[in-house]
C-alpha cells in the first residue's frame, strides 16, 4: 500500500473541504469529550466507592440525650460481640475536631454552627467484613441510637453508603451513555456526509481513476483515511480537553470541597487511548458508510 500517497490525498481532500471537515471534527470532539467526562466521573466515583467498601466500619450514632451510663453500657455490649475486632468511641468533641480537619483552610464555614450539634458515636470494625449487615442490624432498634423515627439512619455502614453512591453513579452513567450514543450517531452521520461530499466533488476523478485501472481499494483508501483522520483529530482534541477539565475543574473542586469523594487520580493513558480509539472508529465507520452508499465501484 502506498501509504504516503494515500495520506497526502486524504489530507488534500480534508483541506479542500475544510468547512465540512471542521464540522465533522467538532462533532466527534464533542461526543468523545462527553464520553471522556463520563469516564472521569466513573473513575472518581469508583474510587470513592471502593474506598468506602474497604473501610467496612459501622458507625453507631448515639442520641445527645443518652446518659453516660447508657453509652458505656452500649460500649460493653459491642465489645462482647464475637464478630467485633475493634471498637472506638468518638465523643462530641472528637467528632467536631474531625469535621474541622476535613474543612482545613475553610474553618470559617463552621463558625456558623452554634455549639456542637454532632452526636457521639461508636466506630466498630469487624473481623469478617461479610458480617457487617448482621452486626449493623442489631443496633437498628436500640433506643439510645440516634435513629429518626421509622428509620435506622443512626447506624451507618459502608455497604449502605456505597450502595447509595453506586445508585447515583449508575444514573449518571446511564444518562451519559444515552447522550454518548446520540452524539456517536451524529458524528458517524456527519463524517459520512463529509466523505460523501468529498466523493461527490471528486466523482469525475473517481471515474478517471477507474479508467486508468485503479483497483477499488486504491480508490477507496484516501476516502477511508479522510474519515479516520477526521475521527482521530476530533478524538485527540477531546482527550486534551478531558485532561484539562480533570486537572483544572475536578482538582479545583477537590481543593475547595475536600469532603466530596473525588480523586483526580485518573489513569490518563487508558483514558486517552480509549477516547482516541473511539474517535478513530467513528471515523472509519462513517467513511465506510459513505463508501458503501455513494462509491459503488
Q: Which residues contact 53 (CB under 8 A, 6 or more apart)?
A: 158, 159, 162
Calculate helix-pair angle for 3-16, 216-245, nearest 10 degrees: 70
Nearest CB to another protein, comparing residues 2 and 64: 2
Please select the residue that binds another protein; options are 5, 18, 140, 171, rule is CB under 8 A.
5
Identify which range of 33-41, 159-167, 179-187, 205-213 contacts another protein by CB under 8 A: 205-213
Nearest CB to another protein, comparing residues 3 and 259: 3
Residue 116: count other Cβ atoms within 10 Å of its Cβ: 13
- Beta carbon of residue 218, minimum distance to another protein (angstroms, whole number): 5
By CB under 8 A, is residue 207 in contact with another protein?
yes
Distance CA(113)–CA(55), nearest Å, equals: 29
Cell of 296: 459503488
Q: Which residues contact 173 (CB under 8 A, 6 or more apart)?
A: 38, 42
Nearest CB to another protein, comparing residues 7 and 42: 7
To which residue does cell 466500619 refer? 57
- Beta carbon of residue 292, minimum distance to another protein (angstroms, whole number): 17
In this structure, the strands spanning 121-126 and 155-157 are: unpaired
Nearest CB to another protein, comparing residues 4 and 85: 4
- Is the distance from CB of 145 to CB of 61 less than 8 angstroms? yes
Cell of 127: 473481623
Identify which range of 66-74, 148-156, 170-178, 204-212 contacts another protein by CB under 8 A: 204-212
By CB under 8 A, is residue 138 in contact with another protein?
no
Nearest to 158 by CA among 53, 49, 59: 53
By CB under 8 A, is residue 200 in contact with another protein?
no
Nearest CB to another protein, comparing residues 2 and 116: 2
Please select the residue that binds another protein; options are 30, 209, 241, 264, rule is CB under 8 A.
209
By CB under 8 A, is residue 205 in contact with another protein?
yes
Residues 8-47 that bind another protein (CB under 8 A): 12, 16
Residues 210-239 that bind another protein (CB under 8 A): 210-216, 218
Nearest CB to another protein, comparing residues 101 and 207: 207
Classify 90 as helix, strand or coil.
Answer: strand
Provide the terminal-to-terminal Cα distance of the chain, rounded to the nearest Å. Answer: 19
Question: Residue numbers of the site for another protein (CB under 8 A)?
Answer: 2, 5, 12, 16, 204-205, 207-216, 218
Amino acid at each position: 500500500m502506498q501509504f504516503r500517497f494515500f495520506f497526502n490525498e486524504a489530507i488534500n481532500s480534508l483541506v479542500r473541504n475544510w468547512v465540512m471537515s471542521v464540522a465533522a471534527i467538532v462533532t466527534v470532539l464533542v461526543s468523545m469529550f462527553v464520553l471522556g467526562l463520563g469516564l472521569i466521573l466513573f473513575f472518581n466515583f469508583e474510587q470513592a466507592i471502593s474506598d468506602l467498601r474497604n473501610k467496612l466500619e459501622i458507625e453507631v450514632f448515639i442520641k445527645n440525650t443518652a446518659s453516660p451510663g447508657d453509652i458505656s453500657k452500649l460500649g460493653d455490649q459491642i465489645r462482647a460481640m464475637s464478630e467485633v475486632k475493634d471498637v472506638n468511641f468518638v465523643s462530641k468533641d472528637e467528632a467536631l475536631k474531625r469535621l474541622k480537619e476535613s474543612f482545613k483552610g475553610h474553618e470559617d464555614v463552621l463558625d456558623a454552627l452554634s455549639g456542637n450539634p454532632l452526636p457521639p458515636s461508636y466506630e466498630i470494625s469487624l473481623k469478617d467484613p461479610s458480617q457487617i449487615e448482621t452486626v449493623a442490624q442489631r443496633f437498628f432498634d436500640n433506643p439510645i441510637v440516634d435513629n429518626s423515627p421509622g428509620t435506622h439512619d443512626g447506624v451507618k455502614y459502608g455497604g449502605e453508603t456505597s450502595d447509595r453512591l453506586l445508585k447515583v453513579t449508575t444514573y449518571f452513567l446511564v444518562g451519559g451513555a444515552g447522550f454518548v450514543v446520540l452524539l456517536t450517531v451524529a458524528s458517524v452521520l456527519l463524517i459520512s456526509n463529509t466523505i460523501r461530499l468529498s466523493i461527490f466533488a471528486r466523482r469525475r476523478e473517481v471515474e478517471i481513476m477507474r479508467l486508468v485501472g485503479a483497483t477499488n481499494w486504491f480508490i477507496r483508501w484516501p476516502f477511508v483515511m479522510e474519515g479516520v483522520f477526521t475521527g482521530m483529530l476530533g478524538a485527540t482534541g477531546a482527550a486534551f480537553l478531558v485532561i484539562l477539565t480533570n486537572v483544572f475543574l475536578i482538582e479545583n473542586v477537590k481543593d475547595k470541597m475536600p469532603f466530596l469523594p473525588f480523586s483526580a487520580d485518573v489513569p490518563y493513558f487508558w483514558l486517552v487511548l480509549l477516547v482516541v480509539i473511539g474517535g478513530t472508529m467513528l471515523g472509519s465507520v462513517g467513511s465506510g458508510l459513505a463508501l458503501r452508499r455513494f462509491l459503488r465501484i
